[in-house]
Amino acid sequence: MGNDPQKTVFNVFVSLLPTPYSLLPVFVIDNYFLLMKNCVQIIANSKVLLTIILLGTISTTAQAQQQTAPGPISEPNVMLNVQRTKGTCPQTVGLWWFVLPYEGGVEHTVVADTRAFADLTNLVSSNKQFVEFVSPLRSDYATCVGQTRAQEYTFYQVKFKNKKAYFRVDLRKVQAPSSLITYKTIAASRPYVRWAIAD
């Protein structure tokens, strides 16, 4: 059996018990200590396995949070389909369109991604309800004749003709009691318009 101190303490304890218990065979004691040793190993291995599972769960949760974290929008969030009449046309025109509600109304900001087919943009016409920008088309789209078709957003329109793209915001097509263009400019060679609706 060797000189295992735990077995020695156990043997002393068993010898102090009343006679029926002191007659326990030695193999039962050996098996008891073997079983206890295996239990300790299982518990130690379980701790390692549990740590691995826990780290995996934390890692997966962290990745999920990174994927859903808000951040700046670098791509247009609205796409208008282009209905081509003739020539080579872009399939879509992208818009960055942001809405900011406030008490009594909503402010809209829209930026047309004309840089996808033109390098320059000019503001050519505007009033409180309408604004129009013109962009000379690059040579690969110079033959384009067509326009965007968006039944939901009829107040945003891009027409392609005469080697130019015409981006329009027409608030006369907005179904609201009061709407107004509050700001218009060119930002990063793109049309930029801010408009508001009052309740």
User: Rounded to whole angstroms, how far apart are CA atoms 6 and 171?
Assistant: 90
**How many CA atoms lie less than 13 Å away from 193 in the CB half-sphere?**
28
Helix (H) or strand (E) segment spanning residue 18: none
User: Is residue 193 within 8 Å of 183, Cβ to Cβ?
Assistant: yes
Look at residue 45 in the predicted model and tell me its pLDDT. 62
pLDDT in tens, 70-121: 778 889 999 999 999 999 999 999 999 999 999 989 999 999 999 999 999 9
Euclidean distance between CA atoms 187 and 113, whole angstroms:
10
Q: How is the beta sheet containing 130-136 ordered, strand by strand?
A: 122-126, 130-136, 164-170, 156-161, 145-148, 78-86, 92-102, 105-112, 190-198, 178-187
State the pLDDT at residue 7: 59
pLDDT at residue number 100 = 95
pLDDT digits (tens, 9 = 90+) for 38-67: 656 666 666 665 556 555 556 555 555 555
pLDDT of residue 199: 77
Please tell me the number of Cα atoms within 13 Å of 94 on its side-chain side.
12
Predicted model pTM:
0.65
Please tell me the predicted confidence (pLDDT) of residue 105: 92
147 has a pLDDT exceeding 80:
yes
CB atoms within 10 A of CB 105: 15
In one letter, which amino acid is 64? Answer: A
**Cα(145)–Cα(138) distance, integer angstroms:** 13
- The amino acid occupying position 11 is N
List of E strands, 36-189 = 78-86, 92-102, 105-112, 122-126, 130-136, 145-148, 156-161, 164-170, 178-187
